[in-house]
Amino acid sequence: MHLPEFYDAGDLIAVLTTQPLGRPLDYRAPEGGCCLGAFVEVPLGPRKVLGVVWGPGQGDYDPAKIRAAYRVLDTAPMREEMRAFLTRAADYTLTPLPAMLRLATRAPGLGDPPSMRKVYRRGTREPDKLTAARKKVLAALSEYGDLSFTLKELAEMAGVGTSVVKGLVAQGAVLEEDSPRDLPFARLNPALPAKELTADQAVAAERLAAAVASEQYGTTLLRGVTGSGKTEVYLEAVAAALRQGRQALVLLPEIALTAEFLTRVEARFGARPAEWHSGATMTERRRIWRMVAQGEAQLVIGARSALFLPYRNLGLIVVDEEHDTSYKQEEGVLYNARDMAVLRASICGAQVVLASATPSLESWVNAEAGKYAKLELTARFGPAVMPQMRAIDMRSEALPANRWVSKMLQTEVEARLARSEQAMLFINRRGYAPVTLCRACGHQIGCDDCDARMVEHRFLKRLVCHQCGESKPMPTVCPACQAEDRLAPVGPGVERLAEEAAALFPQARVATLSSDMYGSARALKAEIEEIAAGAADIVIGTQLVAKGHNFPNLTLVGVIDADLGLQGSDLRAAERTFQLMRQVAGRAGRAEKPGTALLQTYQPEHPVIRAILAGDEERFWAAEAGEREAAGVPPYGRMAGIILSGTDVGMVFDAGNALARQDAPLRAIGAQVFGPAPAPIARVRGRHRVRLLVKAAKSVPLQAALSRWVGQLPLKGDLRVAVDIDPQSFY
Ligand code: ADP
Ligand code: ZN
């Protein structure tokens, strides 16, 4: 069907809104008409809501009741490719389109006229009296020629109070003008000199640049050990996109979005890119959204949701640390940003670069199969070499109770302290102790609303549920038997390890890095930077230290419990442990000094631990791929998780059983259903959770079958269903 591009006033149009209504609704085009994709404001009941013109009206609604759209918003219409992307992403993830549209309109005030602010620049007149303070202001302005500044900026630059500037305005020596608040971003210059690349790097950079120049879709897996220069290489792909006048997007895990990274980008291109992340202000979000749509933001560096910005001419998407689990959104719309990046690029003819030292098995398999191109950087840049890795067999260490640092690890840390080098102790567990146990009755303190034990956070002086975030003060009597002073912490968390380190190494400066100990991501990043600059001798950290930050003086990493990730039934447990251990180990020996990584383990003969120590990645991936293929699980087969939840456990199970019985739509495609079973976390925020798992062959139309299947279930009471395609976490 051919869609008309423009609708005259009064024509029937279908408008998709962000309200949970399932499908676009019919309206009449507003006065002046509107084009396909236009952002419009429409009446919905008594409210005004935001919508996008999705096509001609369906005409299946009483024409007398159809209302007119109020107005077209002053913003670039949604492009055809964006509508296609949202539609296909919705189909893939089985998400209602309005929820997808919400992801694509996460900027406030889209309908507002561009707001103005006062700016100041040099006027033609001279002031009557030239005081020292006034001289400073005029000098600051003449330094920047014809640029204008806000009042605050100018006063700060000149080092004077704002009244001085105002005084100059009164005399006409400085001009006060209105200027739009949403300013374009400074132009980036891809012609500035890049670092001189090594032979390996140059080959990779040229291949990527050529791919970008082809203006066609393609995905490349860029693999290289930490520090091999992947960032330098993909910045050249960015340069290639900019030279063509196309936009580029670099996706990073939120925590890797550091000042250090932005400084590198600025050094390469001479100006700062747009930064899209959870800490961005509303004004900044709006500015980025608009400038991206107008093509006036050439490069966006962002967390996963930057994928849903309205690029005008996107030529390249880089997904750095592509294996990172934070790319999978686990709440609301369940999507994997890595997969959606590939989808988006394939629709708009862009290139994708997936960069990682330890790729996901999915990407590794796609590269092996020739679906993705593959580029490898084998050596670390400069003198840095991969750290030596060794296991510490904890069975022969005979540690006393409530101690976790082995004698051997202690000796190695002391050697680093003696040489004024940094050491890191890694444990992937936040808080002080994972379990609080009553020594009188054996009771373990759990969350009131979830089937999870509460984790003691001594730093916060509270017990916290890591499932729902609920917290309560640390009790002094056992909630079960009322015994006094018998509650004891069991097992280590990062805070407890810090306590042990302080006792073992009293002369050392110990810094603890755990996401919950800092008020904001910004504060945490600032702390990381100080530590990198030498503000600590021993760093105690959780998973977040594994991600993309340089600690040049760090030469030892001690992993307290290398076995931790291997427990549990997650099909990706081996892969995750392998990646995490390699990443953490990669923190050691980044500069001139060689590094060592020591893994404390009770099962040194475990195949995953052996593969990590041997550093034989190809063998690990091949073996892991073989097992998944034999089991018919991703990436060789497809899976979906269905989570049913509700406050009445009986009702939730009944619904799960009913669904499992009505499996005709699944049998039609040869898919199997497992369950219902209590979800691994069987209760969250007071809601009982039951899980069904669906396994299917790779080539079958799974989504269509799933929506027919789940669609049979009447949603009675507070029963809710969530479908998770390609589940990452199995909770
Ligand atoms: P990766 O992204 O693979 O971890 P980076 O690109 O961050 O690696 O490189 C690691 C360090 O080495 C960075 O400080 C980077 O600036 C430096 N580096 C890498 N390649 C070069 C090069 N060709 N010339 C100068 N410095 C380089
Ligand atoms: Zn809870």
The rounded distance, in Å, linking the Cα atoms of 341 and 339 is 5
C-alpha 320 to ligand 1 mean position (Å): 14
pTM for the full predicted model: 0.80
The rounded distance, in Å, linking the Cα atoms of 95 and 332 is 9
Q: Rounded mean pLDDT of 42-59?
A: 91
Contact 18, 28 (CB under 8 A): no
What is the number of the ligand closest to the CA of 353? 1
Atom of ligand 1 lying closest to residue 195 CA: 24
Atom of ligand 1 lying closest to residue 197 CA: 23
Confidence check: pLDDT of 170 > 80: yes
The rounded distance, in Å, linking the Cα atoms of 598 and 707 is 48
DSSP 277-312: STT--HHHHHHHHHHHHHT---EEEE-GGGGGS--S
pLDDT in the model for residue 336: 93
Lowest mean pLDDT among 237-251, 323-337, 386-400, 563-577: 563-577
The rounded distance, in Å, linking the Cα atoms of 385 and 108 is 47
Nearest Cα residue to 250 out of 148, 341, 120, 139: 341
- Measured from CB, residues less than 6 Å from any atom of ligand 1 are 195-198, 201, 224, 226-232, 381
Per residue in 391-436, pLDDT (tens digit) is 999 999 888 888 999 999 999 999 999 999 999 999 888 889 989 9
* pLDDT tier, 342 (very low <50, low <70, confident <90, very high otherwise): very high
Burial per residue of 391-418, b for 16 or more beta-carbon CB atoms within 10 angstroms, e otherwise: bbebeeeeeeeeebbbebbbebbeebbe
Q: Would you tell me how many other CB atoms lie within 10 Å of the CB of residue 564?
A: 15
C-alpha 435 to ligand 2 mean position (Å): 14
Cα distances (Å, whole numbers) of residue 579 to 429, 573, 612: 17, 10, 9
* pLDDT tier, 1 (very low <50, low <70, confident <90, very high otherwise): very low
Phi/psi-derived region of residue 116, left when phi > 0, alpha when psi is between -120 and 50, beta in every other case: beta
**Residue owning the nearest CA to atom 20 of ligand 1:** 229
Contact 53, 37 (CB under 8 A): yes
C-alpha 556 to ligand 1 mean position (Å): 21
Cα distances (Å, whole numbers) of residue 78 to 160, 289, 527: 45, 12, 40
Q: Which of 231, 258, 554, 592, when mutated, tests ligand 1's pocket best, judged by the most ligand atoms within 8 Å of its CB?
A: 231
Max alpha carbon distance in the chain (Å)?
90
**Residue owning the nearest CA to atom 6 of ligand 1:** 229
What is the number of the ligand closest to the CA of 681? 2
Confidence check: pLDDT of 180 > 60: yes
**Residues whose CB falls within 8 Å of the CB of residue 579, separated by 6 or more in sequence, listed in order:** 323, 358, 360
Contact 218, 342 (CB under 8 A): no
Phi/psi-derived region of residue 431, left when phi > 0, alpha when psi is between -120 and 50, beta in every other case: left
pLDDT in the model for residue 380: 67
Atom of ligand 1 lying closest to residue 384 CA: 12
Lowest mean pLDDT among 182-186, 241-245, 419-423, 601-605: 182-186
* pLDDT tier, 383 (very low <50, low <70, confident <90, very high otherwise): low
- E-strand ranges in 181-226 read 218-224
* pLDDT tier, 283 (very low <50, low <70, confident <90, very high otherwise): confident
Question: Percent of the chain having pLDDT more than 70?
Answer: 94
Write out the H or E segment, with its range, that includes residue 622. helix 617-631
What is the number of the ligand closest to the CA of 455? 2
Q: Which of 196, 225, 232, when mutated, tests ligand 1's pocket best, judged by the most ligand atoms within 8 Å of its CB?
A: 232
DSSP structural state of residue 65:
G
C-alpha 728 to ligand 2 mean position (Å): 21
**Residue owning the nearest CA to atom 22 of ligand 1:** 197
131 HSE (CA, 13 A, CB side): 9
Q: How many helices (H) and strands (E) does the chain have?
A: 20, 31
Per residue in 208-226, pLDDT (tens digit) is 999 999 999 999 999 988 7
Q: Rounded mean pLDDT of 342-360?
A: 95
C-alpha 647 to ligand 2 mean position (Å): 14
Confidence check: pLDDT of 110 > 50: yes
Per residue in 527-584, pLDDT (tens digit) is 888 888 899 999 998 877 766 567 888 889 899 988 887 776 567 778 888 888 888 8
* pLDDT tier, 616 (very low <50, low <70, confident <90, very high otherwise): confident
Q: Which of 381, 385, 549, 584, when mutated, tests ligand 1's pocket best, judged by the most ligand atoms within 8 Å of its CB?
A: 381
Considering the chain, what is the average pLDDT of its residues? 88
C-alpha 228 to ligand 1 mean position (Å): 6
C-alpha 227 to ligand 1 mean position (Å): 6
Residue type, 144: Y
What is the number of the ligand closest to the CA of 684? 2
* pLDDT tier, 54 (very low <50, low <70, confident <90, very high otherwise): very high
Q: Which residue has the tokens 């950079």?
A: 205
What is the number of the ligand closest to the CA of 452? 2
**Residue owning the nearest CA to atom 9 of ligand 1:** 229
The rounded distance, in Å, linking the Cα atoms of 33 and 660 is 50
The rounded distance, in Å, linking the Cα atoms of 695 and 210 is 39
Confidence check: pLDDT of 382 > 70: no
The rounded distance, in Å, linking the Cα atoms of 551 and 173 is 50
C-alpha 278 to ligand 1 mean position (Å): 27
C-alpha 468 to ligand 2 mean position (Å): 4
